[in-house]
Amino acid sequence: MASLSLQLRDYRLTVAEILYHMPDHPGLLQSYIWQDLDLAPRYPVLRKFLTFWERELDGKLHSVKVASNSIITPSECRFVDGELKLH
């Protein structure tokens, strides 16, 4: 239910591809995919994760690509000209 309440507050499904230098081989890049609900365009949840990464993990960040899309969107409504009743 927490997920739904976040989505109703305009949080969007956010995916980030994080490229980082491998600690033992800094010349090589490794890819990490991160996914969570986040609030565009500031992305506070992703920023908190990246701050944790830089503070706690050995792999130095190279680049981050972000994609975001809302999950809950207004549905399409249309009115009909007639009504059909059964029984």
Cβ–Cβ < 8 Å for 60, 20: yes
Give the integer Cα–Cα distance in Å for 40 and 84. Answer: 44
Handedness of CA 43, 57, 63, 68 (dihedral sign): negative
The pTM for the full model equals 0.78
Residue 46: inside a domain, yes or no? Answer: yes
- Please tell me the total count of domains within the chain: 1
Chain segment 59-80, per-residue pLDDT in tens: 999 999 999 998 876 665 566 6
Residue 83: inside a domain, yes or no? Answer: no
Residue 84: inside a domain, yes or no? Answer: no
Domain limits for position 29: 2-69
Residue 76: inside a domain, yes or no? Answer: no
> Given the structure tokens 């990246």, which residue do they identify?
50
Cα torsion at 78, 81, 84, 85 (round to 10°)?
90
Residue 82: inside a domain, yes or no? Answer: no
Residue 83 has pLDDT above 70, yes or no: no
Chain segment 47-61, per-residue pLDDT in tens: 999 999 999 999 999
